[in-house]
Every structure is written in structure tokens, then in C-alpha cells.
Structure 1
């Protein structure tokens, strides 16, 4: 199924690359930093990085912001609250919350690839309040209840 998603450049960011897939079968669109000047991300620090665009998505679709594997492996740069969710009714600038989990400062330059965006369908879910839930073998076990393997 194909979805039409609108994209709008934020004024002053005409030079910023719009999201794009880097290969034919890629699931994610690379996002680019729309910083006005280089941002140095010290180890353990985080920063909200603008992308230079806003989206108009139809109902039933969300955009997820995810780390780029190369930045994570080589520099320890990843996204907090990953995946970040862009809801279909949000019309503000898409921003990426990056953190430096590496050992060295990392400089984010204008138009540098910083994250990826994956679109997902969102099912229409209705919550039903009940007095009891159906029993399962697992029950309420969670957070390591099956032991270390």
C-alpha cells in the first residue's frame, strides 16, 4: 500500500537536503541536520537537532525517528526516546534528540546525516475496560521472569 506524505521546507533551510533513501530497498529516509552553526556534542550530553522540514501525514500513519547505525557504531551517537514518534496530526518541524554515548566530542555540521525516518501504519485501536483479563501461561511475569539464558 502506498501513502502520500506532504513535506514542507522550513524557511531558511532551502540548502538542507530533504529526507531520502540511500538505497533502492532501504526502509528509512536519512535525515539531515539543519543547525545554523556546528553543534559539539560532548560525551554524555544531548541536543535537539532541527531537520529543516515539517510533515503532513494522513491519519493511520506515523513517522519513527531512529538512530543511524554508522554513527552509533563509530561514534556512540544515538537517538533518545528511540524510536521517536511523529504523529499524523503534528505539523511542526521534525527534530532529532541525539545523545553522545561515545568517549569523544562529536561535531554535528549543517546538512550532515544524523538519523533516519521510517514510516509505519498505525492500527485503529479501541480500549475496552474489563474487570478481569483472560488467563495466559505467562500471566503477569515480566522483566526477566524467565531467568538469564
Structure 2
């Protein structure tokens, strides 16, 4: 199955459209609409100046740019763009590093990855099917 097209709208004529770093990159790099500094341990929401239309059964995941995340210690704090959302895409970032991260207008801030999602029915039940793991949670499968 081929991926559906991602319809994209610039909310400001000066905003850069997302780009792929290489032809086989999983996502499109997205750019910051304005300059923002994020001190250590703080969060910020960065505007992109973009809106999208996504086919039903798909969503856009906003993910960190790996090199930047590894070097500067930031992470995407939230990152799901639903198929029915038509507002501006904003990127919520948190700085886990030791230094202030400076993003300038036009900097690549994250990547957008188009992913398929299942929206099956939610069915309430009295009992769930048993498994060998049961309710053994965090750390229960070893190191």
C-alpha cells in the first residue's frame, strides 16, 4: 500500500515547507517560525506556520531530530497530529540538557513522520483474556 499524500498549507508566505534530509528519510524536517530559547529543564511550544490535512487512518507524528536530540538533549514533549486537526502545527519541546537551546527562525526543530493508525472499536468487558505475563509491569521481563 502506498502512503497517501500529505496536504500542507503555509499560514505565512515566509514559512519554509518541510524537507527530507535524504530520499529515504522517514520524516520531513520541520522548521521554526520564530526564534525561541529554551533554558535547561524548561519546555516551549514552537510555531511552524503550517497546517495539514491527513487522510483518515493516518496521523502525523512529531519526533525529535536524532542528531540534535543527541547533541543538545532535547525531546519532543507531545507529538500527535490527528487526521481531523486543521490548525497550526506547533512543536512542544523540552530541554533535558545542561545548556540553553537556541532555536532561530528557519532552524529545523523536529521531524514529521506520516504513520498509519488503527482506530478500532473500544469495547468494555468484565474480564480480559489471560496471558503468561499477566499484570507484571515495569521491569518484569528483566534487563
TM bucket normalised to smaller? over 0.9
Q: Are 1:125 and 2:120 an aligned pair?
A: yes
When the two structures are aligned, how many residues end up with a matched partner?
A: 142
Unaligned runs of 5+ in 2: none
Taking the aligned partners of 2:127 and 2:70, their CA distance within structure 1 comes to 45
Q: In terms of mean alpha carbon deviation, does 95-104 or 108-117 score higher?
A: 95-104
* Superposed displacement of residue 130, structure 1: 2.0
Match of 1:7 in 2: 8
Q: Are 1:55 and 2:77 an aligned pair?
A: no
* Superposed displacement of residue 23, structure 1: 0.4
Kept after mapping to 2: 8 A contact 1:71/1:78:
no
Taking the aligned partners of 1:138 and 1:2, their CA distance within structure 2 comes to 35
Q: TM-score under structure 2 normalisation?
A: 0.93
Shift of the 74–127 alpha-carbon distance from structure 1 to 2, 3 Å rule, reads same
* Superposed displacement of residue 15, structure 1: 2.2
* Superposed displacement of residue 135, structure 1: 1.3
* Superposed displacement of residue 2, structure 1: 2.6
Q: Are 1:146 and 2:141 an aligned pair?
A: yes
Unaligned runs of 5+ in 1: none
* Superposed displacement of residue 124, structure 1: 3.3
Q: Secondary structure at the match of 1:70?
A: helix
Q: Are 1:86 and 2:87 an aligned pair?
A: no
* Superposed displacement of residue 92, structure 1: 0.3
In the alignment, which of 76, 100, 116 is matched to residue 111 of structure 2? Answer: 116
Match of 1:101 in 2: 96
* Superposed displacement of residue 141, structure 1: 1.1
Q: Could you list the runs of 4 or more consecutive aligned residues of structure 1 that deviate by over 4 angstroms after TM superposition?
A: none
